[in-house]
Amino acid sequence: MSDLCNVTVTVNGNRYERDVEPRLLLSDFLRHELGLLGTHVGCEHGVCGACTVLFDGEPVRSCLMFAVQAQGHEITTVEGLGTMEALHPLQEAFWEAHALQCGFCTPGFLTTLVPFLEEHPDPDDDEIREAISGNLCRCTGYQHIVDAVKLAAEKMRA
């Protein structure tokens, strides 16, 4: 085992400090060290998108970063988007438009789409499909996800 490194990060607005092995992936740090199990791990090579989190506000693959690289940065996981009492409009829309079945892929879609909707308040189908091209869903066939994004955009414009 290599020496432990100290890392301090802000996740969903809370500051955490831990001593970790440099090889610990950010995805495993979030899940195993912080107990934030919303970030899912599918492929660990950047293809599936399930592990997507916001790193200083931008969607990135948490399986393709080391936890030590998050030193001093801000991370938002799916847990930080809304609360059980007050879901994010996108989460509500996913629910209402049946945009998930097993839900494994959902955290990655949500974290990818929240910044997208901020930049594209009224996206068309092509823009939405482009935005979700880095996230795989094995259940829904994507159509309901596209519908949910449109519904969310409507809610957020209202």
Partner 1 sequence: MKPPPFEYYAPTTLDEALALMAEHGYDAKALAGGQSLIPMMNFRLAQPEILVDLNNIADLSYIRPSDDGGVLIGAMTRHKTVGHSPLIAERAPLLHETMPNIATEQIRNRGTFGGSLAHADPSAELVAVSVALDARLRICSQEGERWVPAKEFFVSLFTTILEPEELVVEIAVPPMPERSGWSLKEVARRPHDFALTGVVAVLTLDDENHCQQVKLVYLSAGDGPVEGIQAAASLQGQPLTAENIQAAAEIAASEDVDPSSDIHATAEYRRHLAKVLTRQTLEEAYERAISNTQ
| 47 near ligand FAD (CB under 6 A) | yes
Q: Which stretch binds ligand FES (CB under 6 A): 8-16, 68-76, 100-108, 115-123?
A: 100-108
Residue 30: DSSP 8-state: I
Instruction: Give the residue from 47, 30, 59 showing the smallest Cα distance to 39.
Output: 30
Nearer Cβ to ligand FES (19/96): 96
Task: Of 116, 136, 111, give the one whose Cα is nearest residue 126.
Answer: 116
* Residue from 107, 110, 113, 105 nearest 137 by CA: 105
Residue 119's binding partner out of partner 1, ligand FAD, ligand FES, none, with CB under 5 to 8 Å set by partner kind: none
Question: Whole-angstrom Cα distance, residue 74 to residue 11?
Answer: 6
CA distance 96 to 94: 6
Out of 19, 118, 124, 130, the only residue in the binding site for partner 1 (CB under 8 A) is 130
Query: Would you count residue 71 as binding partner 1 (CB under 8 A)?
Result: yes
Q: Taking CB under 8 A as the rule, does residue 15 contact partner 1?
A: no
Partner whose footprint covers residue 103, from ligand FAD, partner 1, ligand FES, none (CB < 5 to 8 Å by kind): ligand FES
The residue count for binding ligand FAD (CB under 6 A) is: 2
**Pick from 79, 139, 143, 142: nearest CA to 114:** 79
Residues that bind ligand FAD (CB under 6 A): 46-47
